[in-house]
Amino acid sequence: MRALVTRPRESAAAVCAALAARGIAPVLEPLLEVRFAADGAAVLAPLLEGAQAVLFTSANGARAFAAATARRDIPAFAVGEASAAAAREAGFATVESAGGDVADLAVLVRRRLAPGRGALVHAAARTVAGDLAGTLGAQGFTVRRAVLYEAVTAMALSPATAALLAERAVALALFFSPRTAGCFVRLARAAGLGEAAGAIVALALSPAVAAALEPVPWRAVRVAPAPSEAALLAALDRAIAEGAAMAATGQDRPA
């Protein structure tokens, strides 16, 4: 059994290992290429003056921050476990995870911090999802957005992945963001492979990701019960179990 993994290469190692441990062959097809800003150090230095914490809404944000500065003395607040793990790997001693999405991160910040203690630095991409600055700004916080990287979408599917899709040789596909989901849909349709999704159960990190997958006819779409890699893998395990049960009863497709 093969599973398509659409994460950027820098973020895909753990999920590929988890798939391999389940006897599933990962097919890595990074649909985003992460590029750190060449002027990251110059951008970040003045924003850190007087800041009380740094906010990470992605693991790539934590990596880009670490590449731009040696500062690790400032507390870090991360949107989820993947971002928190990247911050810890980078050497941050104080890291808290919201274990959810941007709204959960805003709630965590309001509980732990006070507006008068200093600004918050958001280590961000050029394109961001949600309005973290607006949400926290309404609570009196000053959020300084540091654009430290950009994620560039792929221009085409790789020939190897396109061939596997054409052969209906991929059973599962994992999607972690609306942007990568939309990119896959666009590239698959451009390659004349939109109908090939009919052989694949798509695993979506959130309802927003699932919505971006709608333009092609998947065998089924399963949404993780929480926006985390562990929850997405749990949804995958359930999909596999359902598939085994349906095979035993002669059923062909998930509901």
Domain of residue 93, CATH code: 3.40.50.10090
Question: What confidence score (pLDDT) does residue 244 get?
Answer: 59
Residue 254, in any domain of the structure: no
Confidence label for 82 from pLDDT (cuts 50, 70 and 90): confident
Please give the structure tokens belonging to residue 253: 């497709």
Percent of the chain whose pLDDT exceeds 90: 80
Residue 249 in this model has a pLDDT that exceeds 50: no
Judge if 98 and 11 occupy the same domain. no
Domain check: are 63 and 147 in the same one?
yes
Q: Is residue 67 a part of any domain in this protein?
A: yes
The domain total for the chain is 2
Q: Are 191 and 201 in contact (CB under 8 A)?
A: no
Task: Find all residues with CB under 8 Å of 70, minimum gap 6, and list them.
Answer: none
**What pLDDT score was predicted for residue 11?**
82
Residue 58 has pLDDT above 60, yes or no: yes
Task: Choose one of 123, 152, 181: the last residue of a domain.
Answer: 152
Residues 90 and 148 in one domain: yes
Which of residues 98, 125, 152 is at a domain's end?
152
- Mean of the per-residue pLDDT values of the chain: 92
Of the residues 95, 129, 152, the one at which a domain ends? 152
d(CA 199, CA 182): 18
Q: Are residues 49 and 27 located together in one domain of the fold?
A: no
Nearest to 104 by CA among 211, 227, 235, 210: 227
pLDDT at 253 > cutoff 50: no
- Can you tell me the distance from the alpha carbon of 169 to that of 47, in angstroms, rounded to the nearest whole number? 49
Enclosing domain of residue 105: 34-152
